[in-house]
Amino acid sequence: MTRSNAGPPKVCSPKMCLSNMWLLLLLVSAFTAQGCAFFESAGEVTLGKGQIPRVTEELAWPDIDEMTGSALAGRVGSRNDGPLINGAPTTLKKGTLAHVQGILSLAGDCQRVFRKAQLTDDDTKSVKNLAVRVTNCTGDARCAYLCGDFRGLEMEAAVEIELFDEEDAKKLAKQLADASPEAAVEAIVQIRLQFFKLELYQTGDDGKRENVTDRLSLFDLILTETGVQRSVAEIVALEAERDAALRKAEEDGTEFDPSPWATLPSWVKVLDRRYVTDIGATPKGERYEIDPSSALLKSIKQTVVKGESTSLRLVQRIRVERPDLYDLRFDGAGFSIDVQPEVVVSVLQLIKNLGTGAGSE
The percentage of the chain sitting over the pLDDT mark of 90, rounded to a whole number, equals 33
pLDDT given at position 353:
59
pLDDT tops 80 at residue 198: yes
Residue 52 contacts residue 164 (beta carbons within 8 Å):
yes
The percentage of the chain sitting over the pLDDT mark of 70, rounded to a whole number, equals 75
* Greatest mean pLDDT among 28-42, 184-198, 315-329: 315-329
What confidence tens digit (pLDDT) does each residue in 258-311 have? 999 999 999 999 999 888 888 887 778 899 999 988 999 988 888 888 888 888
pLDDT band of 70, cuts 50, 70, 90: low
pLDDT given at position 354:
56
pLDDT given at position 69:
64
Q: Which of 24-33, 200-209, 234-243, 251-260 has the lowest mean pLDDT?
A: 24-33
Q: What residue spans of 230-285 are helical by DSSP H?
A: 232-252, 273-276
Query: CA 62 to CA 70: how far, in whole Å?
Result: 13
Q: Which of 29-38, 90-99, 234-243, 282-291 has the lowest mean pLDDT?
A: 29-38
pLDDT tops 60 at residue 77: no
Q: Please state the pTM of the whole predicted model.
A: 0.77
Residue 330 contacts residue 164 (beta carbons within 8 Å):
no
- Residue, of 52 and 241, whose pLDDT is higher: 241
Give the closest residue to 97 by CA, choosing from 336, 263, 332: 332
pLDDT tops 60 at residue 161: yes
Q: CB within 8 A of 350, min separation 6: which ones?
A: 23, 27, 176, 179, 183, 184, 187
* Neighbour tally for 19: CB within 10 Å: 15
pLDDT given at position 249:
96
pLDDT given at position 251:
96
Alpha-carbon distance values, 301 to 34, 149, 176, 215, 309 (Å): 21, 38, 12, 36, 11
How confident is the model over 222-245, as a mean pLDDT?
Answer: 93
- Residue, of 120 and 277, whose pLDDT is higher: 277
pLDDT band of 9, cuts 50, 70, 90: very low
pLDDT given at position 142:
92
- Residue, of 350 and 28, whose pLDDT is higher: 350
pLDDT given at position 85:
53
pLDDT given at position 23:
44
pLDDT tops 50 at residue 175: yes
How confident is the model over 130-149, as a mean pLDDT?
Answer: 92
Alpha-carbon distance values, 46 to 31, 50, 176, 309 (Å): 8, 11, 15, 18
In this structure, which amino acid lies at residue 324?
D
pLDDT given at position 183:
75
pLDDT tops 70 at residue 71: no
DSSP state, 344?
E
pLDDT given at position 172:
79
